[in-house]
Structure 1
Amino acid sequence: MEHYLPQIYWHDRTGLLSTDFHPVVKDGRYKIATSSVQKEVRIWEYFFFKAKKPGTNIEFEELQVNFIANLVQHNNSVNIVRFSPAETDTLLASGDSEGRLVIWRLNDQSVAQMTDEELPPNKENWVRYRLISHEQDVTSIAWNPEGKLLASVGRDGHLMVHEVHSGKRTVCIRNFRQFPNGITWDPRGKYLAILSMDRKMDIVDCNKGTKLKSIAMADLPARSICGLFAEAKPYRLWHDDQLAGFQRGVAFSPCGELIVAPAVQMEIGTQDIYGTFVFKRSEIDKEKPFCLLPTAKATFLVRMCPLIFELRDSEENYTGLPHRVMWLVLSKEQMYIYDSQHRHPIGYIDNIHYNNLTDAAWSADGKTIIISSLEGYNSFLKLYLEQWGNVLVERPEPPPSPQLIKTRKKRAKVVAQDAEENAAGEEAKENVQITMTAPPTDAPTPTKLAKVKVNVSTPSSKLPTSTPTTPKAGPMDKFVKKETLSEKSDDSQKNAVNQPIQKNDASDVIAINPPPKPTVSMIATRKEPRKSVDVITIPH
């Protein structure tokens, strides 16, 4: 795993808020979208190429980034950008701090001449295709697997689903106590999972807009978690509204069997346990997480690797899935990589940016990860899939989804009446017989038989370098960290040099001071823990 940090002013030195990958990778070229506290969305292309170190024959892979387009339709900070998963129709959605959700479409017509002389000319013509409005900030968006529907949530407390091509609104839910800021679409097209500031995760029928489950608390058994003894009692599962972050990015696994949700905060005595919960689709009706992935600090984002891998031989498999899926978890300073087979993180990233991390994305081929930060730079991670295992070519047939809507029980009197009617109907069917009609007295003896008709009722069933004026700050800008790069650099240099691993006497949670240079590691075998502990399964 290699780390790259291009010295590019992605959005004129302003903090980056979101990034995402285009679903198609052509000839090793990746297309990405970025947004920031400025009011533009920008499209970029990057690729890796072979280069040699000066004066040597040593080859290495260099990263080349090219500017593609600057999209202008927003009047405030752009909080979120997401490409449509449809490969045949290039669409991009972006939501801002004014409540405007713009759907962009790549147009084949020639590119219009730009008026901003400080920017390089656009190479692609992106036009506004649809405009959707929330009353306040758009906090998170999610496409359905076919790219025909778009779900969005905002600070106005609304969940809305729109048909992209017609603009018709199909679902609208307004009964959130506090605003939702994380949403994901089931890859099987059945559910929406939503995390909110009211410390709940809701499972919603994406077709009818019905809330099927609302998970806020769970009865957990007594056990030791990170050196703390947790009593058997109901626990609140999610972080309160003091969690500083732009989103709570929950995610379905690409197979649809797992839901991985960040922003966990369990209060055990006077101590807090942070981490990420994993829910099984087959057990979502129990409203209880399957396991906990503990971390040193609060997490706020989960992004899934789009690939599915074969199981490794002679390895544990704590989830019981017939394959392996991988995902990344983001906190303000670290990134963890997990899979569904090992009980500990298989990758760990730390100290790559001076300011808070804001978003991350995984490329469609699973080979690169991009991480954005408030300091205005993007980090790139190049992965080597042969180190992670064999990609599964044929995906297994998934089991059926659980029944989350229970049928209503009838009253005892109604049930008894239905039983009597059914019994009478069955008895009438059995007693149907052929009889002879009585002939009139003045008529000859009949020679034909007539059947008695019985009615039986049945029940129904180059790149910008200047710094333009920053637009008016939106409500989401209150989360932007105010300290300067020099302050953060001085603090990290004072506290990071030759600091040993320390233990917190109160909570016994492992804490590691950040190193003075970026840390990118793969954990192939279980050694000493790195700011995390093993997965904690929760009995059901």
Structure 2
Amino acid sequence: MRGGTVQINWHEQQPVLTLDFHPVSRRLATGGSDHDIKIWVIASDDSDKKLPTATYHSSLSSHSSAVNVLRFSPSGGGIIIWKLHSTDDGEAWKVQKTLLFHHKDVLDLQWSQDGAFLVSASVDNSCIVWDAIKGSVQQKLEGHLHYVQGVAWDPLGQYIASLSSDRTCRIYANKPQGKSKNTDRMNFVCQHTLVKAEHQNHDESKPPVRAHLFHDETLPSFFRRLAWSPDGSFLVLPAGLCKYSSEVINTAYVMSRRDLSRPAIQLPGASKAIVAVRFCPVLFKLRGSQSDCFFKLPYRVIFAVATLNSLYVYDTESVAPILIHAGLHYAAITDIAWSSDAKYLAVSSRDCFCTIIEFENEELGLPYNLSGTKELAEGNTNCENMKPLKVDSMEIDAGSSKAKIKASSAAVEVTPSPPVLAQNNILMTKDVAEGNATSENDRPSAVDNMEVDVGENKAKMEVTPVAVQVTAPPVSTKNSASSKPTKKRITPIAIN
């Protein structure tokens, strides 16, 4: 594994707000505050210890404000859908549809699995389900009281989840109306609203207390990008916080598909708030090296979690993260993207640069061919069958400038054959949708002046079959800095 910040002019020295890999090629699309989408070709550098290369390919310029989010269709202010047209000179992108219904700017969007629909989240406190083929509004989802900063569509098509700065997550279930007519027409109804959770009081003699699950609107980011696993078995929610006594811990919540009314697991330990989650589109075969994992799955799922200043990569067969990359950027991270073959992991930032991490062939494992997706998803993650936690897997020293993560040898094992694309990633088109960013007048002052702890511009990382070590900023379990050095062992926690 190798990677780092690619020092090129991505968006005319403007913040890079979003990025996404093409579903069948290694083209990377980025969107920024310069109002443009740019297409890049990502390739490996054969030289030893060289970063992957990003070569500019083309620009998509038809936007009146910054581009907050873009996502390629899995089947190959406003939202613009672009379509690829071949020309003698190579390729040209043309506007296929412009979807206008939101009263204010769009912060996040997600395609349905078949690419026929998409859902968008907006500053106008609502989500809209669009018919991408007709270009019409299918349904408007209301209920949030503040900006909707993240939205995710269940790959099985049953649920839509939205996350807002009003400190709530809403789970919408598809319940078509009518006995015979319009049975195929979507009708999403709010099934669960996650607001607070019950925690054991620090003083055991006192009754449990209820506390908010998520950060409020003072979180210095426009984005809370949640995500479903590729098989739909679980949902990961960013922007979480957990308060024990006087400590406030940043966390992400894992929701089991079997019970979307409450979190099953939390992933604590980040020194800054978590703002984005993205799953690797390829599933991997079990290695059989970890018996104390939380997920009863016949395969391994890998996902990346981004805080304001660091990147964590988790494996469902491992308790601790298999990779932590810190000190990458001087400003906040804004988005994460995986290439369709799991070869590259890309991160964008408001400091105008992107980081690209390249994995060796089968470094993450042997691909698993998924079949019977629906049956597998319904029988997977179950908080009732969680195994006991072990606290010796991950050690964070808050008084040191280095975070050392202990992982098993299987977490970084390298074997020599090329990765195979998951079967459900092959039938994909080349459409891309994007949403415009909030205008300058709507932008909280905290965003432009946000502080991110960065020890060094580039993280030092040593990858061996035993452990991954990076140079990281000082780590604290509190939101505010502490002058007292403390040492804590932190692992994911099962919530009873």
TM-score normalised according to structure 1 size: 0.70
**For residue 164 of structure 2, what is the aligned residue in structure 1?**
196
Output the CA distance in 2 between the equivalents of 1:329 and 1:294. Answer: 12
Structure 1 match to 2:182:
none
Matching residue of 2:253: 277
Deviation of 1:518 (Å):
1.5
Q: 1:32 to 1:192 in 2, by over 3 A?
A: same
Q: CA deviation at 1:238?
A: 0.8
Match of 1:282, SS? Answer: coil
Deviation at 1:31, TM superposition (A): 0.5
Q: Which residue does the alignment assign to 2:295?
A: 319
Q: Which residue of 1 aligns with 2:54?
A: 65
Change (3 A) 1:521 1:157: farther
Equivalent in the alignment of 2:121:
153
* Bigger radius of gyration among the two: 1
Segments of structure 2 that go 5 or more residues without pairing to the other structure are 175-185, 380-437, 476-488
Comparing 350-359 with 314-323, greater Cα deviation is found at: 314-323
Pairwise CA distance, 1:270: 2.8
Aligned to 1:48: 44
Q: Give the structure 2 partner of residue 75 of structure 1.
A: 64
Does 2:276 correspond to 1:297? no
* Residue identity matched to 1:535: P
Aligned residues of 1:249 and 1:301 also touching (Cα < 8 A)? yes
User: Is the CA contact 1:356–1:481 (under 8 Å) kept in the aligned structure 2?
Assistant: no
The structure with higher relative contact order (CA 8 Å, sep 6+) is 2
Aligned pair 1:519/2:430, yes or no?
no
Name which of 150, 153, 157 aligns with 1:185.
153
In the alignment, which of 302, 313, 323 is matched to residue 347 of structure 1?
A: 323
Distance 1:524 1:295, change over 3 A: farther
Structure 1 residue 479: Cα displacement: 5.1
What CA distance in whole angstroms lies between the structure 2 residues aligned with 1:328 and 1:400?
A: 20
Rounded Cα–Cα distance in structure 2 between residues aligned with 1:201 and 1:474: 26
Measure how far apart 1:401 and its partner are. Answer: 4.7
Give the Cα separation in 1 of the matches to 2:288 and 2:115. Answer: 36
Shift of 1:475: 2.3
Cα distance 1:132–1:523, how it changes in 2: closer, same or farther (>3 A)? farther
Unmatched 5+ residue regions in structure 1? Answer: 52-58, 88-98, 112-122, 403-470, 493-513
Map 1:387-402 to 2 at 5 A.
387-395=363-371, 397=373, 398-399=375-376, 401=378
Using structure 2 for the length normalisation, give the TM-score. Answer: 0.75
State the distance in 2 between where 1:100 and 1:222 align. 46
Aligned position for 1:19: 19
CA contact (8 A) 1:348 1:521 kept: no
CA contact (8 A) 1:336 1:349 kept: yes
1:102 lines up with 2:75 in the alignment: no
- Cα distance in 1 for partners of 2:457, 2:44 equals 27
The one-letter amino acid paired with 1:337 is V
Q: Percent identity?
A: 26
The answer as to whether partners of 2:329 and 2:458 remain within 8 angstroms in 1 is no
Q: Deviations over 1:351-372 (max 9, x none)?
A: 1222221111111111111111
Number of residue pairs matched?
A: 408
Match of 2:236 among 260, 269, 276: 260
Supply the distance in 1 between the matched residues of 2:68 and 2:445 (Cα, whole angstroms): 12
* One-letter amino acid of the counterpart of residue 83, structure 1: F
Partner Cα separation in structure 2 for residue 302 and residue 250 of structure 1: 5
Post-superposition offset of 1:251: 0.6
Distance 1:377 1:6 in 2: 7
- TM alignment of 1:315-464, pairs within 5 A: 315-316=290-291, 317-395=293-371, 397=373, 398-399=375-376, 401=378
Q: Deviations over 1:453-478 (max 9, x none)?
A: xxxxxxxxxxxxxxxxxx97352474
Match of 1:144 among 112, 116, 135: 112
Instruction: Give the alignment partner of residue 166 of structure 1, picking from 127, 134, 151.
Output: 134
Which residue of the partner structure matches residue 90 of structure 1?
Answer: none
Q: 1:67 to 1:323 in 2, by over 3 A?
A: same
Which residue identity is paired with 1:208?
N
Aligned 8 A contact 2:328 2:457 in 1: no
- The match for 2:33 is 37
2: CA distance between counterparts of 1:400 and 1:536?
A: 22
Deviation at 1:221, TM superposition (A): 4.9
Which 4+ runs in 1 deviate beyond 6 A?
Answer: 228-231, 526-530
Shift of 1:259: 0.6
The SS at the match of 1:307 is coil
1:132 equivalent in alignment to 2:99:
yes
Aligned-CA RMSD value: 3.0
- What amino acid is the match of 2:227? A
Tell me if structure 2 keeps the 8 A contact 1:68–1:124: no
Partners of 1:295 and 1:533 within 8 A in 2: no
After superposition, the Cα gap between the structure-2 partners of 1:307 and 1:221, relative to the gap in structure 1 and judged at 3 Å, is farther
Separation in structure 2 between the aligned mates of residue 370 and residue 165 of structure 1, nearest angstrom: 29
> For residues 255 and 523 of structure 1, what CA distance do their matches in structure 2 show?
30
Are the counterparts in 2 of residues 352 and 519 from structure 1 also a CA contact under 8 Å?
no
- When residues 199 and 60 of structure 1 are mapped into structure 2, their CA distance, relative to the original with a 3 A threshold, is closer
Aligned 8 A contact 1:292 1:536 in 2 = yes
